[in-house]
Each structure stands twice: as structure tokens, then as C-alpha cells.
Structure 1
Amino acid sequence: MGEGFQFFDIILFAAIAAFLVLRLRSVLGKRTGHEQRPGQDPFQPSRQRQQQGSDGSDRDTVVPMPGRAEDNGVTDEDLKKAADKAETPLSAGLTQIKLADRDFDEDGFAEGAKGAFEMVVNAYAQGDRKTLRQLLANDVYGDFEQAIDEREKAGQTLETTLVNIREAEIIEAELQNRTAFVTVKFVSEQINVLKDAEGNVVEGDAEQVLDVTDIWTFARNTRSRDPNWTLVATRSPE
């Protein structure tokens, strides 16, 4: 969390046990270890839902991800010309977002996204719905809450240790109707252990550090005075 980044007030497990394990993998991405590779991610909202952006709920969680909203006079034609000059779709998207929001900085955003990633991973493991509600769009939060409910009904607990975030790379960026969508690939080292009500290990190994890759999309309306970025989609690499 570097200084100088603007703060905003928002800113993922067998019959039942196996189901929870699969859901954990869906939330937290692809693990490299002895477990099976997850299938299609049910936690990724549709494109239509992504376009809704932030849900606008009150938040008291602070994570530094730069971006301030105000109409700076940039026209749609200005944005189109900037995109036409860019060499790649990623650079086009980043350029348009910077024009729409003069305070946006991709390096600062990536650093802030690390903080959001850590908070979401830990909150999911702890069943901290309040923190998740402040960080996630409605559809994503609903899926996380359902997974937590099912885990709790089974009398199970999840212990997650986020050892290290090795990488937080912006891989996609897009501006749609002045809503910015920024997708980050996280590569982290985690220890995940699922236990039953008696404390017996159902899944995982407390001595095994897993390499985990997650792809998350954050969104924010650049015309809004609300500086919050919201997690609107998660997926595993294909």
C-alpha cells in the first residue's frame, strides 16, 4: 500500500464437502498441485452485468486504488482518436481510461489491487460478509455469500494463508460508456485447508504452498464522484 495513492471506501470449499472444494477453486482460481483443474467459473458475471459497474453501497474499507471521478471535458471523439492511435487493445483501453480520469495510474492501481485481493481472499476464508459486501458487485457477492453459507451449514471452516502475491499484472482495460473496466492477473502463493466440525482436514495440506492464478475485473464509473472500484468478475485462466 504505497503512500500517495488516493483512498477509497471499498476497496474467494466433499457430497457437500466436495461441492465446497470445487466452489473454492472457482472463487480463488487455478491451483497447481495434485487437485483437479476447475471447470467453468460460475463466479464470472455476464458482460451485461459488468456494464452495471459499482453497486453504490456504503463502504468503510479503505484500499488505495487511484481514480477520481469528474467530467473533465473529454469527448467521445477524443476517446476514439486515442484508441485508434494505440498499438494494442490494452494500451487503447488504458489510454482512454487515463483521458476520462486524469488521476488514473496503472502502477498505482495494480498496487492497490493487491490490497483488495488480500482483503477478499482473507474475508472469504473468514466468512466476513461485511468486508466482502463492501468490495464486491451484487452478483459476485451473492455467489460468495452462498458458498460461505454452504460451508457454515456443513460445519466446516476454511483456513487460508496468503503467503505472497508474486504478480499483479493488468492484462485488459476497457472504457464502456465512461465506465472503466480493468482486469488484473494475480499470481499468488497460498495455503488452503478445509476442516470439518471436529477439526479434521477435509481438503488441503497445511504444509503445502500452492501457486494460484486468478483473473479479476474491477469497474468504476469515471463520471461519478464516488472513487470506489468494485470487483465485478472473477475467472480462472483458460
Structure 2
Amino acid sequence: MIAAFLILRLRNTLGRRTGHEQEHPRTRLGGLGTKPSEASDERGDNIIDLPARDGVRRDDRPEDDMPPAEDASPLEQGLYAIRKADPNFDRRTFADGARGAYEMIVNAFAAGDRDTLRPLLAEKVFGSFSAAIDAREAAKQTQETTLVGIKQAEIVEAELTDSKVAEVTVKFVSSMISATKDSEGRVIAGDPNDVNTLTEIWTFARDTRSRDPNWELIATRSAH
């Protein structure tokens, strides 16, 4: 299964930026977690505006700006710290955008589309993805993946690092059909007729001091 394979390849991927990553051109993930009205006026046509699912604007939810209680969970404390560093951040919009990020990355990996993956992934993660694609191509194998649906995209961790990098971790539960075929078109792994439920934990990061609205996938891990 493609998702399981990704987890195995990326289990040891480092989870934070080193400060040496290059900023990438804006992509369809630009503004992830940002209200459409607050996205940069300079953004290109490739950026999808991602309104909150319930149609409620952040300004209508004053609880987002209220300091957490002393006994608040690390998640709530982390989200508040990110909001303080980036007033445009909105948790509901981020969760919606993360769904789109998940779908783009899974589909691009299955298709071997490095051009789509490169601006969406941190350098180390892209290297792992690219190596897996290289191995598949060398073996003359193809990956066929259908993302049937995303059942859940829940923010489970949030942190603002000392270097002001926002890191938000999302638990994805998805239904997926995946099969790997050899050069003759024979199925050698997976099942093109079997729908599997997969649970994955992905962490996205963005430097809150940067004007670039892009978030990158910096780590994945198993839910177990």
C-alpha cells in the first residue's frame, strides 16, 4: 500500500527545518491555514482559497484569540502560540487545507510527479520520496492509487519552535485503493479492487517570519 510504503521510507525523517531549506515558489498550498481575505494580494492563480468548512470567519470566533487556561492541553497552547506569531492562522481553515495537501501529495507520489512534490515537501522528505520513485522506475513498476475519501483530518499536535517555525501535525484517516504493477501490467502488490482504511500522521511546517505563505510536509509517521 502506498501510504504504508511512505511511512516505512520516511519513519526516520527529521521533523524540523535546519534553516538551510530554500523557499519555494508558491503553489496550490499557499495560504494553508490563512483566511482567503488575508492571503497575499500577490499570490498567483495556482493558489486555492480555502475557506473554513462551516463558513464562520475567524473574527467571529473570539475564542481563537483568548489565552488558553492554565490547564489547557499542549495542543491548545501550541495553537495559541502559532496564532500569536501569525495572526492569519486559522485552525479550521488549516484542517481543510491539509486535506487538499494530503490528496495532492499521495496522488503525485503514485504518479511519480516530482515537479508537483518538490515545492510541497521539505528537502529531506522530498529526497526520500524521490528515492522511492527512482527505485520503482528502475524496477519498471507502476503505482495505481485511488484516494476514495478522507474520513478524518484532525489536528493532534501544534508547536511554535524557538526559531518561530510553526509545526502542525494532522492525523489522517483515509480510504484508498492501491496496487503496484510490473512492466507486464501484472499486480505484484496491493489489490486494485480492495479499499483499505489507512491512518497516517503528517507534520507540516512554516516559518512564521517569512512572507511566503507555503507550508511544507516535514515528517510522516505511523499512527501506532
Alpha carbons of 1:146 and 1:135: their partners in 2 closer, same or farther (altered >3 Å)?
A: same
One-letter amino acid of the structure 2 residue matched with residue 164 of structure 1: G
Task: Select the residue among 12, 19, 23 that pairs with 1:56.
Answer: 23
State whether residues 184 and 215 of structure 1, in contact with CA within 8 Å, keep that contact through their aligned partners in structure 2: yes
State whether residues 159 and 166 of structure 2, in contact with CA within 8 Å, keep that contact through their aligned partners in structure 1: yes
Q: Deviations over 1:108-167 (max 9, x none)?
A: 100000000000000000000000001000000000000000000000000000000000
State whether residues 180 and 222 of structure 1, in contact with CA within 8 Å, keep that contact through their aligned partners in structure 2: yes
State whether residues 54 and 229 of structure 1, in contact with CA within 8 Å, keep that contact through their aligned partners in structure 2: no
1:113 is the counterpart of 2:98: yes
Distance (Å, rounded) in 1 between the aligned partners of 2:70 and 2:86? 19
Aligned partner of 2:107 in structure 1 is: 122
Aligned partner of 1:199 in structure 2 is: 185
Identity of aligned residues (%): 49
Aligned partner of 1:158 in structure 2 is: 143
Q: Deviations over 1:154-183 (max 9, x none)?
A: 000000000000000000000002110000
Aligned partner of 1:103 in structure 2 is: 88
Runs of 4+ in structure 1 deviating by more than 6 angstroms, as ranges, are none
Q: Report the TM-score, using the length of structure 2 for normalisation.
A: 0.79
Higher RCO (C-alpha 8 Å, min separation 6): 1
One-letter amino acid of the structure 1 residue matched with residue 141 of structure 2: Q
Task: Select the residue among 193, 198, 214 that pairs with 1:212.
Answer: 198
State whether residues 150 and 173 of structure 2, in contact with CA within 8 Å, keep that contact through their aligned partners in structure 1: yes
Alignment of 1:1-238 (within 5 A): 25-27=4-6, 29=7, 42-47=10-15, 49-50=16-17, 52=19, 55-62=22-29, 65-67=32-34, 82=67, 85=70, 87-177=72-162, 178-238=164-224
State whether residues 118 and 162 of structure 1, in contact with CA within 8 Å, keep that contact through their aligned partners in structure 2: yes
Return 5+ residue gaps in structure 1 as ranges.
Answer: 1-12, 14-20, 30-39, 70-81
Q: Secondary structure at the match of 2:10?
A: coil
Distance (Å, rounded) in 2 between the aligned partners of 1:190 and 1:64? 27
Distance (Å, rounded) in 2 between the aligned partners of 1:62 and 1:155? 31
Alpha carbons of 1:229 and 1:86: their partners in 2 closer, same or farther (altered >3 Å)?
A: farther
Distance (Å, rounded) in 1 between the aligned partners of 2:161 and 2:80? 13
One-letter amino acid of the structure 1 residue matched with residue 196 of structure 2: L
Q: Secondary structure at the match of 1:180?
A: strand
One-letter amino acid of the structure 1 residue matched with residue 216 of structure 2: T
Alpha carbons of 1:220 and 1:54: their partners in 2 closer, same or farther (altered >3 Å)?
A: farther
Alpha carbons of 1:144 and 1:41: their partners in 2 closer, same or farther (altered >3 Å)?
A: closer
Return 5+ residue gaps in structure 2 as ranges.
Answer: 40-66
Alpha carbons of 1:207 and 1:197: their partners in 2 closer, same or farther (altered >3 Å)?
A: same
One-letter amino acid of the structure 2 residue matched with residue 235 of structure 1: R
